[in-house]
Amino acid sequence: MYVNQNIKPITTRTNSKGNLEISNCDLVDLANKYKTPLYVIDRVTLEQMALDYKQAFSKYEKANILFASKALMTGAIAQIFNRLGFGFDVVSMGEIYTLLNANIKLNKSSFNGNNKSADEIEFAIDNGIDHFSVDNFCELKLLNEIAKSKNKIQKIHLRITPGIECHTHEYIQTGQIDSKFGFDLSKIDKAVELILNEYKNLKLTGLHAHIGSQIFETQVYYDEAGVVLELVKKIKDKFNIELSEINLGGGLGITYTKEDNPPSVYEIADTIISSIEFHCRKFNLEKPVLYIEPGRSLVCSAGVSLYTIGSSKEIEGIRKYIAIDGGMADNPRPSMYQAKYYAEIANKKEENKPEKVTVAGKFCESGDILISDIELNSPSSGDILCVYDTGAYCYSMSSNYNRILKPAMVLINQGKSDIIIKRQTLNQLVENDVLLEE
């Protein structure tokens, strides 16, 4: 079983004290040392998933893997992927600045997003971004103007909506026709004409498509590559230019619960590569440089969140609630997407007294429920709860709702733990407040 098909980090085990342990680090000890809530990232699992991607796509001689930074962007995480040879798919000035602050160059990075500001575009160009994934006509015009003012020819891809719908939550579908992202296929000719005839400071080298997130199907990737390459063929026939690059996005699903059954990265790679080879033969095209943008499937399984259980409430004949010291501000996905998670009591792993409970957060919202109806080993106040698969879109989407401080994050590796995000302080919480003069 490959990493994205595991619920737990690959180094997870029960130690001699009966506590959960990841990468030789006792989770109860981590909770005591760093306090909870706490994000924990296992470097061994993280790097193995990255190596799986590199190995899977090594069968294609012209593949570039970009980490979709929105999944988990910190300086330390970026350094790890940079050392492994990955580029980055960035979507904001803040993500770009995080890379620069970590001394990472932008020469292998793509700037994505549907409403880039002039400041963001200028910042990316000034710092040597490799290419923009252009989302719309407004951006085409603005990007050309800024590139012209800097006497620069800027490399771009056009992002398209391929008209492919995958079976995932509607909020994380991006490839269907009714989407805020990308050019409709019917508008591509106009965009290419503008680039060739008017926007002389833009160099079109490829097309970009993305069909969604948490995808469990393989056929959609085969179809996506076919749609993109068919469009490359049409552009070649009409404009006498053959685009040399395609970006097929990311979106591979991971296993959050036992009901999930995603394909492995090797299956997805084989599907994409076979589709490219088939359609290049069909349309008489040179095999293009391939970009892919995994995010969740690179980092999610490497991450867990630790909480301390506090109060409880039992409604006879209905359910029992247990409350933790975190919730929707450090993991908004259950509230936003009805996301499901698996969890265990870290300090009672060897006990066998299952009790069905609902894990509630501490925030002032009835919808702040992390996990509904899960069996845990006799949960009680003071126990440490380990929630699996929180490496992606938890820290990234965290907030200060109810003025709660954001948790710390630690990177663990073979018995060693290091802070990579400090716990927010009360002073940091109010540092941007401007008080009225009395």
Distance from C-alpha of 64 to C-alpha of 4, rounded to nearest angstrom: 20
Q: Which residue has the tokens 């579908």?
A: 173
CB 252 within 8 Å of CB 297: yes
DSSP state string for 345-407:
ETT-TT---EEEEEEE-SSS-TT-EEEEEEEEES--TTPEEEEES-SSSSSTT---GGGPPPP
Q: How far, in Å, CA of 301 to CA of 50, rounded?
A: 12
* Helix or strand holding residue 182 (H, E): none
Collapsing DSSP states into helix, strand and coil, what is residue 263? Answer: coil
Q: Which amino acid is at 168?
A: T
Helix axes 137-149, 188-197, angle to 10 degrees: 20
| Among candidate residues 255, 230, 285, the one with its CA nearest the CA of residue 62 | 285
Q: Could you give the residue ranges of the DSSP H alpha helices within 152-264?
A: 188-197, 219-239
Indicate which residues carry an active-site annotation.
364
From the list 186, 152, 267, 188, the residue with the least C-alpha distance to 220 is 267
Helix (H) or strand (E) holding 40: strand 38-42
What 3-state class would DSSP assign to 291? strand
- Give the CA distances from residue 356 to residues 270, 362, 376, 438, in Å, rounded to whole numbers and listed in that order: 41, 19, 6, 54
DSSP class per residue in 16-38: TTS-EEETTEEHHHHHHHH-SSE
